[in-house]
A and B are shown apart, each in its own frame.
Chain A
């Protein structure tokens, strides 16, 4: 049973560029979550999906951020016009139907550095 995978693991981009991250959840997991973690802090919730529906978005998710889960499987998180403050680890998690959101399994994260 493979875990949550994220791609790329590291991304360095220049300010103003757009970036897109991908998350593949554990097979059969219907819920998928995105979190952001800055250095020395705990992860902060960004958004989550149940199947293909985006059910909640944090106010941290500015207009420059968009997340999709078009077929209820993998998800993408896009950041447009990146800023230095976007530098962080972006974590994806998924949870199985029987556990609701109370059993979230995290991927290895994508570390974004904006120069």
Chain B
């Protein structure tokens, strides 16, 4: 595997379900990100982890719970979501450190549908 991978690619869940999205990066990066992309809206940054420490939580509801066990893996745990949470969830990683080296590499995303 190369780059940034995400599983599953598609997920349909009910509002009472609990599910998790997984992201893995094979680039040796130190920073990882979760973004949400809704139709006709900009990519919205949700969470940032730098060296496994959460450095950004962009006012995300608590029904989204991130976990970063190591620099290569990032999870997004989902619980009692709402239909308006249906979106494309993108994971990204970057080198970390100097800003100008901070090009972000994205995974293919998980298309989430909440019924």
A, B assembled together: no
Which residues of B are interface residues toward A (Cβ below 8 A)?
none
